[in-house]
Structure 1
């Protein structure tokens, strides 16, 4: 039987939006991207975080080949519109094809979707440019099903400062949360919305730790000690997460996995195991899961789509991971964490 996997991050919604596919037909029928219903069924992808992400202006985007890539802020009016349009794709899919994919608001709904054979989708906002300082949009999105957000992507907004992409470098790149960001985190705690630390800089990490009473979570990151990219978490951060019963979903992006920090798809499974070993050593066997970043990053050449997830499971088995640990990494740890945050 194929191992069931709950994935901490994918960018399918922004890809469908860019293709003007408002009904998710590419997901349902299969397309050249990483996440589709046929790929999910073939590879055991039973659920995950489906991210809303607002792209920047291509005219101001940094050179994608540069070592340091600092992204400028985005237009907030555009961000409000794009956020709602992308979220509506998942809402529409849930309404039209609940046999294929379901928008889930609790662990009970996730488990029910899995039992029914539908992909369990948790709505996530990656970077809150589409939410205003008064948090009105947060409440609308929460009512629509939002259960996870990252205050920032790797750029600044009214809530804080994202960490730019750089290698080798420290994630300590400047100021963290603003006062509005602290209010956002406190309201997320009250509502039961997970606060994601994946793209925030180090000071922002510590600011979230001070403002939130919940476990510290990064949905798609890796270990800075193995690959010193700014997007990765230092041992000091990992230890703080362990103290709070937090969790890290391992990012599949090769630029965050490799010792040389390059986006070279020729990255063996053993490099992913190195990160898993390090994360488990710092966080414990219940503090590590998966966070692919499918459809949003360059993944290993043997792990280009969700259909190939069994190859990662086979790599875990070859590394000596037992079946109980594999099940926790692939499914159980996300369920345990989500029960404590969203219910």
Structure 2
């Protein structure tokens, strides 16, 4: 390719990285840094147009990794209460809107297709507010309209823990995403309510039963923002062929992650991972369900990514690797940008 394509990211944890001093160490989003994976100068250098910026409410303690005979498992994280999730979510939203004000037009929160189009025309970074796990939503959905008014346009039903709406997958290898029961009644209500409002439903971290419950209920394209193909990475966080086929039938999109434990065949948390390992997943999903249904959800600022990528400035090398694998410039544009924008527009209108 003559120059890197415009890039839209299906998932990052940059807002939390900026918010928590133990992660971001107080770094500024407006200054190039060696900390984290995304800031505005690095984003501009990488032709990064925007993405789904996650808000996540951490729980207590650290995950315990238990070695098994053929892999590992991490016990499912404990549920957290709505009040705690609300406090984190509202604090991060406040920080985001301060950042937007300070950016003086260079960073904008996107609420609809017109906002997204305007950002692209003005070369502004487009921020779609995403909740990674619906814990901040009251079980009776009484604050969903408030969250919508505050800019939330995408909600992941679960993270890897249970909540009032469903059950996330524990981290486990080797194991399928078939790890527990499906959606609760409140979860089914949330699916319908998000459809009514044009809120993207993200099925990343959701178990297999919950995934198919959403597929049966939702009228919108199915979205899995950051994941891998189970055929290449036999972890609970990956999608089986049946799940991939279901996304295709809905007109949805699968974002392939850089998280090394979700793309390596051995699921090892090893940054010495080649870009070709990531490309393998893109290639597999594109061959299975079509290039119109595969994209990228980096998990920048939230996971161990290949050293060969490093940070957002490594994206040109990623797109070059796709070209070397035989993807045309048109296909790369779809993977890099167009597929996400299409699904957002179809959901929001």
TM-score interval for Structure 1 and Structure 2 normalised by the shorter chain: over 0.9
Instruction: Provide the secondary structure at the position in 2 that maps to 1:149.
Output: strand
Contact 1:242 1:282 in 2 (8 A): no
Aligned pairs (5 A) from 1:121-160: 121-160=127-166
Once the 2 structures are TM-superposed, how far is the Cα of residue 277 of structure 1 from its aligned partner? 1.1
Aligned pairs (5 A) from 1:296-307: 296-307=302-313
Contact 2:65 2:73 in 1 (8 A): no
In the alignment, the residues of structure 1 paired with residue 115 and residue 60 of structure 2 have an alpha-carbon distance, to the nearest angstrom, of 37
Contact 1:247 1:283 in 2 (8 A): no
In the alignment, the residues of structure 2 paired with residue 77 and residue 176 of structure 1 have an alpha-carbon distance, to the nearest angstrom, of 24
Contact 1:160 1:204 in 2 (8 A): yes
Over 4 Å off, 4+ runs: none
Match of 1:42 among 42, 45, 70: 45
Q: Residue 252 and residue 20 in structure 1: after superposition, are their counterparts in 2 closer, same or farther (change >3 A)?
A: closer
Contact 2:15 2:54 in 1 (8 A): yes
TM-score (structure 1 length as normaliser): 0.95
1:82 and 2:88 correspond: yes
Contact 2:43 2:313 in 1 (8 A): yes
In the alignment, the residues of structure 2 paired with residue 302 and residue 63 of structure 1 have an alpha-carbon distance, to the nearest angstrom, of 28
2:183 is matched with 177
Once the 2 structures are TM-superposed, how far is the Cα of residue 25 of structure 1 from its aligned partner? 6.1
In the alignment, the residues of structure 2 paired with residue 174 and residue 131 of structure 1 have an alpha-carbon distance, to the nearest angstrom, of 22
In the alignment, the residues of structure 2 paired with residue 328 and residue 159 of structure 1 have an alpha-carbon distance, to the nearest angstrom, of 32
Aligned pairs (5 A) from 1:320-331: 320-331=326-337
In the alignment, the residues of structure 2 paired with residue 203 and residue 27 of structure 1 have an alpha-carbon distance, to the nearest angstrom, of 39
Point out where structure 2 has 5 or more consecutive residues left out of the alignment.
none
Contact 1:154 1:163 in 2 (8 A): yes
CA RMSD of superposed structures (Å): 1.7
1:249 is matched with 255
Instruction: Provide the secondary structure at the position in 2 that maps to 1:29.
Output: coil
2:30 is matched with 28
1:63 is matched with 64
Deviates most, 222-231 or 277-286: 277-286
Point out where structure 1 has 5 or more consecutive residues left out of the alignment.
none
What are the superposed Cα offsets for residues 115-168 of structure 1, whole Å, 9 maximum, x if unpaired? Answer: 212111100000011111121222111112111000110000111100111111
In the alignment, the residues of structure 1 paired with residue 205 and residue 104 of structure 2 have an alpha-carbon distance, to the nearest angstrom, of 31
Contact 1:155 1:161 in 2 (8 A): yes
Aligned pairs (5 A) from 1:1-343: 1-19=3-21, 26-31=28-33, 32-58=35-61, 61-63=62-64, 67-69=72-74, 70-343=76-349
Once the 2 structures are TM-superposed, how far is the Cα of residue 20 of structure 1 from its aligned partner? 8.9
Instruction: Provide the secondary structure at the position in 2 that maps to 1:266.
Output: coil
In the alignment, the residues of structure 2 paired with residue 20 and residue 251 of structure 1 have an alpha-carbon distance, to the nearest angstrom, of 24
What are the superposed Cα offsets for residues 13-42 of structure 1, whole Å, 9 maximum, x if unpaired? Answer: 1112212999x9611123310010011011
TM-score (structure 2 length as normaliser): 0.94
Instruction: Provide the secondary structure at the position in 2 that maps to 1:261.
Output: coil
What are the superposed Cα offsets for residues 193-244 of structure 1, whole Å, 9 maximum, x if unpaired? Answer: 0000001000000111122111111011110011111000000011111111
Q: Residue 77 and residue 29 in structure 1: after superposition, are their counterparts in 2 closer, same or farther (change >3 A)?
A: same
Contact 1:197 1:219 in 2 (8 A): yes
Once the 2 structures are TM-superposed, how far is the Cα of residue 68 of structure 1 from its aligned partner? 1.3
Contact 1:47 1:110 in 2 (8 A): no
Q: Residue 64 and residue 303 in structure 1: after superposition, are their counterparts in 2 closer, same or farther (change >3 A)?
A: farther
In the alignment, the residues of structure 2 paired with residue 19 and residue 194 of structure 1 have an alpha-carbon distance, to the nearest angstrom, of 29
